[in-house]
Amino acid sequence: MFYYEYLFVRTSLFWLLFNGTLGFLFYLYPGMMGAWRSAHVHTGLVGFFLNMVFGVAYWMMPRPGQIKQPGLEALTFWTLNIGLSLRVVLEPLAYSRGFEAFRGWLALAAFLQLLAMAVFAYAMSRRVVTNEMLWRLRKLREAKRKGRG
């Protein structure tokens, strides 16, 4: 497992614990639910689920082709988690102080998350290949080796 794949999986576990803690706190302090509900949903869906899916997908697809895209993995990781972190910090503040003051920052957070999803979709479109494509790539590599030898 490469560095960013590892970070995706480890970060997903952090967000899982954060999400569970928020859920537990909702039972202890029901009044905080309004301000933190959206953050709770996003830490579960984006923080845990998407980080886990992205990390495992980058690691597994496609293993036979050994396609690696460290730049795209890094861009996906940082844009997803910076966007989520901004959202988790700013949404409770916006709930208590009015959304207008935070609209630009929340739009930036949402854009960063959307950008991460778009980068991931692009990276996967380059990685997900058929067996026939893998065989063609293998034949091309073998032909290049023979040409050099």
pLDDT digits (tens, 9 = 90+) for 36-86: 999 999 999 999 999 999 999 999 886 656 778 899 999 999 999 999 999
Q: How many CB atoms lie within 10 A of CB 43?
A: 26
Number of domains into which the chain is organized: 1
* Percent of the chain residues topping a pLDDT of 70: 96
- Determine the Cα–Cα distance for residues 10 and 62; give it in Å rounded to an integer: 21
Residue 27's domain comprises 3-148
Extract the tokens encoding 8.
């995706």
Residue among 58, 39, 56, 59 at smallest CA distance from 47: 39
- Please give the sequence-ordered ranges of beta strands (E in DSSP) within the chain, or none if there are none: none
CA–CA separation, 26 and 64 (whole Å): 46
Binning pLDDT at 50, 70 and 90, where does residue 149 land? Answer: low
